[in-house]
Chain A
Amino acid sequence: MTRLVEQFEAGLEAPICLTWELTYACNLACVHCLSSSGRRDPRELSTAECKSVIDELQRMQVFYANIGGGEPTVRPDFWELVDYATTHQVGIKFSTNGSRITPDVAASLAAADYVDVQISLDGATADVNDRVRGAGSYATATRAMERLAAAGFRGFKVSVVVTRENAGQLDELKAIADRYDAQLRLTRLRPSGRGADVWDELHPTAAQQRQVYDWLLAHGEQVLTGDSFFHLSAYGQSLPGLNLCGAGRVVCLIDPVGDVYACPFAIHEQFLAGNVREPGGFGRVWRESELFLELRQPQSAGACGSCGSYDSCRGGCMAAKFFRGLPLAGPDPECVLGHGEHALAARGHANVPKPSVDHSRRPLRGTPLPMHGG
């Protein structure tokens, strides 16, 4: 029998973790938004185009899709698309800030098979959450969780981006998820989208990274992490979850206009593999795009080649490196051995790439982060 990690690195017939962002429109303006969402893109896929993508996912046996945005529920055809997917053997897990989870919606979600919900929450307390996600967003998320729990929805997800502000709240965040009979999901803050603007202030400190690692060693089996934290395995032990970069191999992103990127954190022309509107559709992009075929080849370790931890951390996250202006073959900016900090200090500021896609609502972009001192 084959080692699964090697099979994953060589790519699968279809993704197992497909993120599909249905719209760039969003009623919030989170400071770390990975997709720089805010305004709807006029080229957004139509209902019919979305349905034909779903047909193709069914043919490819992509068993479920992670729907996001923007705020996906603001699309007028959102529930129609969810119904269409689930009746075509494509299960849906959608991420939401909770603003549209009315008691009626909660009841119909609780009754639906093959639909899972993920409520975004970036702090165990309103002050921590709202500094990142905006005033009132903690109350909105809490109300949605209460409604889902009251409707009898078991095991929905509470999705947290780990930051410097909430890294010390992991126990409290897990307690919140437990209170609603939900499951905690933790992901890594990447300098993607508007995250690039706040990464310096918000990414966990080295000491916090160690705490997150220890916490995941103790609780990792009960929380979801996807492929977020494999860079931490250079501390010693592998963590539960996917210990490799899945980009273009087992993971990819379809964005609201049908562009296919290697991963949700890599919305930039350098990681654009194709578009679902092209002949051959999504399947052809997945199977044949030059970018994805190249990602499925053995990758160069670059400056990490002489490091004894490379087999554990695999050099870390491609998107994190790219959006910090670091070479893809080399250390992650948050390398736990400190090699990333040295690389950042050495690279200067000239090479940091600008985002090539930005749907932020104009007056908000560039607004200073309302953070307290220190």
Chain B
Amino acid sequence: MGCAASTRAHVLDLDAAWRLHPQVALRPESFGALAYHFGNRRLSFLKSRKLVAVVEGLDEHGSLRTALESASVTREEEAAYVSALERLASGGMIVPVR
């Protein structure tokens, strides 16, 4: 798991700051949330409440790593959360802060 996480980290820089795209809205659902991008009309699913907490917390954190930590994502969970964030990034749901 640790190895997978560190490999993943090369794709998505955990030390960079990210934010929710301004045209994305989150709708709470029992499993987590539904994210909709009004610009590219993509729909994504945030499949846990903890992932919702990570995404909602992005603005307050200078890096993905601290956003993950403050949502209590454990080391064991990290790889799964990073790949979920990568999916959101590839759909333009979250974007790097420049």
Closest to A10 in B: B30
Contact present for B48 and A2 (CB under 8 Å): yes
Contact of A13 among B29, B47, B80 (CB under 8 A): B29
Chain A residues with Cβ under 8 A from B30's Cβ?
Answer: 7, 10, 13
A365 to chain B, nearest CB (A): 37
Contact present for B47 and A4 (CB under 8 Å): yes
Contact present for B48 and A63 (CB under 8 Å): no
Bound CA span A297–B47, Å: 21
Tally of B interface residues using CB under 8 Å: 19
Would you list which residues of chain B between 38 and 88 have a CB under 8 Å from chain A? 38-39, 41, 43, 45, 47-48, 51, 80, 84
Contact present for A89 and B38 (CB under 8 Å): yes
Query: Number of A-B pairs whose CB atoms are under 8 Å?
Result: 44
Contact present for A91 and B41 (CB under 8 Å): yes
Cβ of A116 within 8 Å of any chain B Cβ, yes or no, is yes
Bound CA span A191–B84, Å: 40
Contact present for A12 and B38 (CB under 8 Å): no
Contact of B36 among A2, A10, A12, A63 (CB under 8 A): A63
Contact of A63 among B25, B29, B47 (CB under 8 A): B25
Encode contact with B along A1-21: 1 for CB under 8 Å, 0 otherwise. 110100100101110100000
Interface size class of A (residues with CB under 8 A): 10 to 19
Closest to A155 in B: B41
Cβ of B34 within 8 Å of any chain A Cβ, yes or no, is yes
Closest to A90 in B: B38
Bound CA span A1–B87, Å: 15
Encode contact with A along B19-40: 1 for CB under 8 Å, 0 otherwise. 0000001011111101010110
Contact present for B43 and A63 (CB under 8 Å): yes
Bound CA span A114–B41, Å: 8
Bound CA span A1–B52, Å: 12
Chain B residues with Cβ under 8 A from A64's Cβ?
Answer: 36, 41
The answer to whether residues A13 and B38 also contact, given A2-B48, A4-B47 and a CB cut-off of 8 A, is no
Contact present for B38 and A4 (CB under 8 Å): no
Cβ of A205 within 8 Å of any chain B Cβ, yes or no, is no
Cβ of A61 within 8 Å of any chain B Cβ, yes or no, is yes
Contact present for B45 and A114 (CB under 8 Å): no
Residue among B28, B38, B43 with most chain A CB within 10 A: B38
Contact present for B38 and A61 (CB under 8 Å): no
Contact present for B29 and A91 (CB under 8 Å): no
B67 to chain A, nearest CB (A): 18
Would you list which residues of chain A between 82 and 132 have a CB under 8 Å from chain B? 89, 91, 113-114, 116
B93 to chain A, nearest CB (A): 13
Bound CA span A89–B28, Å: 16
Chain A residues with Cβ under 8 A from B29's Cβ?
Answer: 7, 12-13
Closest to A12 in B: B29
Bound CA span A116–B41, Å: 10
Contact present for A2 and B47 (CB under 8 Å): yes
Bound CA span A1–B71, Å: 15
Contact of A91 among B27, B38, B47 (CB under 8 A): B38
Chain A residues with Cβ under 8 A from B51's Cβ?
Answer: 1
7 extra A-B contacts, CB within 8 A, seeds A4-B47, A7-B29, A61-B36: A2-B47, A14-B27, A61-B25, A63-B27, A63-B36, A63-B38, A63-B43
> Which 6 residue pairs are nearest across A and B when measured between Cβ atoms?
A63-B36, A61-B27, A1-B47, A7-B31, A2-B31, A1-B48
Give me 19 A-to-B residue pairs in the complex whose CB atoms sit less than 8 angstroms apart, sorted by A's number.
A1-B47, A1-B51, A2-B48, A4-B47, A7-B31, A10-B30, A12-B29, A13-B29, A13-B30, A14-B27, A16-B34, A16-B43, A63-B25, A63-B36, A63-B43, A89-B38, A113-B39, A114-B38, A116-B41
